């Protein structure tokens, strides 16, 4: 008996200025597509440009998958930043998260019939993938489809395998569907409009 392709797809995003991973899955199955993104060395020292560049890559990656695979419904999960004794780094990570979510909110509804977005804590992803909320990098990779990264010619090193493993783990939280991007709308109203023109 043929296996029916799930109607809803899942995407996991592991955003990072060092390396960003994006993984696409058919429902709860293994990944069918994945991408890694990084900033050009020594370029774009402006934090706004760095965040916008990575966010644009992420959104372009996802919209390309939607078109290529004919995706109508998709659940997206993205990792939320965690404070690690550096407020500056946290602010940069928050900016990347916001830029990515804004891009998804503005573009995805025009590409898909239904789009859901969930924000996931890294400890949740570790628990869902390995059963251990404090799992270390080697354990995350060991439980992922990239456990044999040393023989995978498409991967250059362990860090790439770990980034993809994290992104795949985040996709496991996608069914939470915290936010429905296809029904959301901008809620700010203009209360006063005065351009300094003399009034009669």
Chain segment 129-141, per-residue pLDDT in tens: 999 999 999 999 9
What's residue 2's pLDDT?
43
For the cut 90, the answer to whether the pLDDT of residue 13 exceeds it is yes
First-to-last C-alpha distance (Å) of the chain: 78
Number of compact structural domains in the chain: 1
pLDDT in tens, 148-192: 888 887 888 999 999 999 999 999 998 888 888 888 766 777 777
Residue 77 structural domain: 8-121+170-180
Asked whether residue 163 is domain-assigned, the answer is no
Q: Return the number of other C-beta atoms located less than 10 Å from residue 67's C-beta.
A: 10
pLDDT tens sequence across 40-65: 776 556 778 888 899 999 999 999 99
CA atoms within 13 A on the CB side of 74: 24
Q: Which two tokens stand for residue 19?
A: 């390396």
- The CATH code of the domain that includes 36 is 3.30.420.10
Provide the pLDDT confidence category of residue 70 given band limits of 50, 70 and 90.
very high
Whether residue 195 lies inside any domain: the answer is no
98 lies in some domain:
yes
> Residue 116 pLDDT > 80, yes or no?
yes
**Rounded to whole angstroms, what are the CA distances from 117 to 13, 73, 109, 164?**
11, 11, 12, 19
pTM of the model: 0.85
Dig out the tokens for 12 from the structure. 């996991």
Quick one: tokens of 177?
């569907």
Length of the chain: 200
Q: Is residue 101 part of a domain?
A: yes
Look at residues 90, 72, 74 and name the one whose alpha carbon lies nearest to residue 15.
Answer: 90
Give the residue from 43, 176, 187 showing the smallest Cα distance to 116. Answer: 176
């Amino acid at each position: 008996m043929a296996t029916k392709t799930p109607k809803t797809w899942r995407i996991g995003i592991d955003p990072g200025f060092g390396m960003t991973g994006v993984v696409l899955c058919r429902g709860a199955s293994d990944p069918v597509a994945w991408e890694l993104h990084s900033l050009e060395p020594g370029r774009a020292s402006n934090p706004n440009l760095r965040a916008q560049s990575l966010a644009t890559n992420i959104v372009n990656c996802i919209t390309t998958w939607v078109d290529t695979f004919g995706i109508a419904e998709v659940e997206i999960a993205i990792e939320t930043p965690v404070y690690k004794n550096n407020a500056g780094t946290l602010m940069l990570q928050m900016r990347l998260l916001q830029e990515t979510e804004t891009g998804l909110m503005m573009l995805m509804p025009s590409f898909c019939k239904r789009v859901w977005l969930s924000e996931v804590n890294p400890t949740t992803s570790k628990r869902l993938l390995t059963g251990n909320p404090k799992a270390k990098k080697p354990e995350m990779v060991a439980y992922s489809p990239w456990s044999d990264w040393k023989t995978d010619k498409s991967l250059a090193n362990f860090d790439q395998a770990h980034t993809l493993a994290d992104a795949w783990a985040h996709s496991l939280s996608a069914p939470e569907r915290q936010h429905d991007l296809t029904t959301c709308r901008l809620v700010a109203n203009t209360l006063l409009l005065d351009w300094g023109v003399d009034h009669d």
